[in-house]
Structure formats: structure tokens, C-alpha cells
Amino acid sequence: MRLSNARLVDAHPSIAGPPAGALVDIDIVDGEIERVSPAGSTPSVGERHDLEGATVIPGLWDEHTHMGQWARHRMRPSVFEAASAEEAVAIAAQAARAHVGSRSAADPLVLVGMRDALWPAPPTRELLDAATGAVPTLIVSSDVHSSWPNTAMLARLGLTLDTALLREDAAFDALQAVEGMLDADALDRHVVDALAGAAARGVVGVVDLEFDDAVGAWMRPGRATPTRVEVGIYQQDLELAAERGLRMGDAIVPPRQRGAANARVGRLKVISDGALGTRTAWTSHPYADGAGLAGAGVRNVDDDDLDRLLARATELGLGAAIHAIGDAAVTAAIDALERADAGGRPRGGDRIEHAQLVDAADIPRLARLGIVASLQPEHALDDRELTASLWADRAGDAYRIRSLIDAGVRVVLGSDAPVTPLDPWRAIATAVTRTRDDEEPWQPEEAITIAEAIAASSRTRIAAGEPADLVVLADALPDDDEVSRDPRAAAKRLRSTTARATLIAGEVVHGSL
Ligand SMILES: [Zn+2]
């Protein structure tokens, strides 16, 4: 098959290839790119699709998602816009009324998007009980690190609680227990639908860091999807991974099995600190409002635990993805990876997830040790006010994507769906423009180019021998001059980019050529 007259975006500056804007013909054989040649310069064999100058980019990856949660989140009521606890419970009251008469009336009710750090007064149990009555209700924070249950939900979970909110492990456990009460077949259908929705945005692959034995979930036949999935393993499931004998990169279901999903084993995921919105990200300086738990956030694993987990991951042939948001957590993660490196752990497979606040001294260490920084640019704008108020004079060290790339750190982008929607164009737009809507660009000196943002959101290149994971865009992209002239207009355009066709291994999985 030939895609003729395709327009390419310049690759990452370190990659040789045809110049930006050049029209090329892309020949695809057996799921791979066989040849990329200047348009019309070589004879075409087989099926030919004239793209008439449409832009073609490598298939996009979302490098950090929680697929089960995202699949459900897409269908859950959100309190994201609520500016107070009262506004949130008004939304919950309406959702509870609708829930009672719905098909899922027997399930607990979950709302999402709580941003209580921005509310003038803290939430209370009484307020939520008055709005939701006997319907077991949980309102999950937008960073998923805390949640607000009503009394009926606590009874359903068998919990007692002195405070209004569940935080960190208690919040993760509660959400996991609630998800466990819901039907797995329905979840699988929602996950497959969510990935089909993502393909319309050009997504060919996701990293799934779902909490509850995601590898087991991807063994279910209901998860068959053409999308590539790399599945994380949490520390509590590490020995299960050992029993299954699965190493990183292994297919979770034999690829030729009927209905098999395209899922492979990914990295060990370790959550080493909390999050900014919950004031639990572990920082080297106390929070400016004095409200950080213990002053400077929470550390979830100590050095010994990190060393032990990394040693076991090395034995099992697994990469590591260490969640570290505050600068102290990032330093501790790098220290642990450096010790593992000295102990013979293979270099290059490990990531720090989020890396929201990075001490300047740690940037060259990430580069030297080949540690990938996995960032979610949308968090930068969602957390903009919080970063300014809580991290104050340290805010300049937040989301330094330009600095990381310039120092030679490999950066990959993601959404952390459900925290932000599974849509790489949001991450790309924010990384490139550092703005959206009518906001002034935030720390514009840390912006990266469109080509860099696409390279950080894909795993392949448009070159001979690469998998034919490709996206034909429905719209032309702005160029970098347009971005610097009017970042807000460019942000709007980038965020609304859609795929005319998405191909995985040469197969059209969305749209048409
Ligand atoms: Zn996450």
C-alpha cells in the first residue's frame, strides 16, 4: 500500500529525514514502512491512496493512563467546575437522583474532579449526606489521591473515618474496592470504547498503569483491541508477575490467540510520594501555606524499600516507573536508580512519572543515568494556581520540559487519564504553547517545538523499517512561527486537531484513507 503526497512534520532535530513540509510517498508492506521517498519519485505498486498534502505524523502514545478508571470516568458526573463544597454537593444531589432510577442503581455512585484545595471551606460529611442520603457516594479528587465519601459509602466499604476525606493509600483502597463492586464485562466494553475514542485523536498506544492487577485485566478476552497497550505492575502484584513468568515486553496473551488484545508487559510502578493538590507531594522545602502534611508532603516508600523493589524488578526483567512529584521524591528516586545502576541494573528502561518539581542539580543526573522523564503537561496548567501558592519561590523549577530536553533527558508525554482526558493533543498543545483559553503563557521559556512534542508523544518514526503506526491528520498544524506570534490561537488549533485516519501496523483502525 502507498500513501502518496503525505506532508511530514520535521522529526526531532536529532533524527535525519526529509525536511519539514516536504511531500513524500510512504510505502507500507506487512505492517511496516518499507520506504519513504520524495513524492512521485518512485513507481507505485499495489493500492494507492492520494493524501493530497495532508499531514502525516507517527502514531501517538499516551505514556501514562489508568484505563479502567478513564473508561468509567468518561461516563461519570464531574465536580471539576465546583468552586465550593456546596456547589459540589449540588451536583452530587442531582447525580444521586438520576442514579436511583438508572440501570446501575445497585452500584455505588462515583463523581470525579474534586478540587477541594481551591475551595474556601473544607468539605464535611454532613454536607454530602444531606445531598445524597442513602445512595453510597464517593467524590474523587481530580488527582485521585483523595476522596470524599458519604456515610452510606463508608458503610458499604466497612470503614469508619474521623475526617471528611480519605487520603493517599486509604483513597486508593477505597476507589479500588468501589471499582471491584462493578461488573468486569461492562468495564472491558468501556475500555475498548475508550481506546476507539482515543484512536480518533490519533492514539495507537497507551501505557496502562491501572491499580488493580492490570495484567490480569488485559488477559480477559473482552479486552481485544487493536490499540497497543503497555501494562504496568504495582508492587503488590510483583510476585504475581514472577509466578506468571512475564518479563517486560512480553505479550500478555499469545498474539495469535483468537480475540487477543495487543497488550504487553510494562514496568513496575512504585508510588513514592503524593500529589500537589492533596499537599502530599514530597518536597525539599515546606509548603508555602504551611498545610503540607508534615510540612513538606508525604514519602510513601523509604530507601530500603525502593532498593528492594528495584532489585526484584531487575531479577524479573522489569523496568521501573517511579511516581515522584515533589523535588525530594525525584531526588530519592534518582538516588535509588543510581544505586541500582551501580548494582548492574540495565540502563534505559526506567522512568520517573510526573517529575513535576525537579531540582536543577538533578536534571543532568537524569540525562547521565538515562532515566526517562514522563510528564503530563496538562497538570501544569491545571495546577498553575496551586503551584504558585504552595510552591511559591520554587515554582520556577516546575514542569521544566525545555530544560530537560536541552540537557539530554528523554521526555515522554501523557495525560494521567482520568486526571486529564486521554487526548495527546492537549499535552502537545500545552507543551508547545504553555497556555490555553485566555491565560497568559506560563513560564513560556520552557515551551518545546511541535516536532519535539510529537516526538515525545510517539514511539516510532516515519522511516523505512519502522512499524506503520501512522496518523493522517484532518487539519494542518500551525508552524512554530504561528505559535510564537499567537500562542493562544495556536493552542486552540492544536487542541482541536483530529485524525482523518489512524493506522496501527498498516491497518486502518479509525477513519478512512
Ligand atoms: Zn497516574
Which residues of the chain fall short of a pLDDT of 50? 11-15
pLDDT digits (tens, 9 = 90+) for 199-251: 999 999 999 999 889 999 999 989 999 999 999 999 999 999 999 999 999 99
**From the CA of 301, how far away is ligand 1's center (Å)?**
17
E strands in 217-340: 228-234, 263-271, 320-324
**From the CA of 63, how far away is ligand 1's center (Å)?**
10
CA distance 260 to 265: 14
Amino acid (1-letter code) at residue 283: T
CA distance 179 to 176: 5
In this predicted structure, what is the pLDDT of residue 13? 45
**From the CA of 34, how far away is ligand 1's center (Å)?**
36
In this predicted structure, what is the pLDDT of residue 210? 93
In this predicted structure, what is the pLDDT of residue 260? 62
CATH number of the domain to which 149 belongs: 3.10.310.70
**From the CA of 141, how far away is ligand 1's center (Å)?**
13
In this predicted structure, what is the pLDDT of residue 14? 42
CA distance 436 to 432: 11
Asked if the structure places residue 91 within a domain, the reply is yes
In this predicted structure, what is the pLDDT of residue 19? 65
Asked if the structure places residue 399 within a domain, the reply is no
In this predicted structure, what is the pLDDT of residue 17? 57
Asked if the structure places residue 421 within a domain, the reply is no
Count of domains forming the chain: 1
**From the CA of 72, how far away is ligand 1's center (Å)?**
15
**From the CA of 205, how far away is ligand 1's center (Å)?**
16
**From the CA of 64, how far away is ligand 1's center (Å)?**
6
Closest to 32 (Cα-Cα) out of 424, 489, 470: 470
CA distance 455 to 463: 13
CA distance 377 to 357: 12
Asked if the structure places residue 100 within a domain, the reply is yes
**From the CA of 113, how far away is ligand 1's center (Å)?**
14
**From the CA of 30, how far away is ligand 1's center (Å)?**
35
Q: Under 8 Å CB-to-CB from 8, ≥6 apart: which residues?
A: 17, 18, 20, 21, 22, 24, 55, 56, 57, 462
Closest to 380 (Cα-Cα) out of 413, 422, 350: 413
Asked if the structure places residue 129 within a domain, the reply is yes
**From the CA of 209, how far away is ligand 1's center (Å)?**
7
Asked if the structure places residue 189 within a domain, the reply is no
Closest to 494 (Cα-Cα) out of 445, 437, 439, 426: 426
**From the CA of 228, how far away is ligand 1's center (Å)?**
18
**From the CA of 356, how far away is ligand 1's center (Å)?**
13
Asked if the structure places residue 298 within a domain, the reply is no
Asked if the structure places residue 12 within a domain, the reply is no
**From the CA of 271, how far away is ligand 1's center (Å)?**
9
What number of CA atoms fall less than 13 Å from residue 9's CA on the CB side?
A: 25
**From the CA of 416, how far away is ligand 1's center (Å)?**
5
**From the CA of 24, how far away is ligand 1's center (Å)?**
38
**From the CA of 468, how far away is ligand 1's center (Å)?**
28
In this predicted structure, what is the pLDDT of residue 402? 96
Name 35's bridge partners: 27
**From the CA of 120, how far away is ligand 1's center (Å)?**
27
Task: Tell me the residue range of the domain where 123 lies.
Answer: 68-180
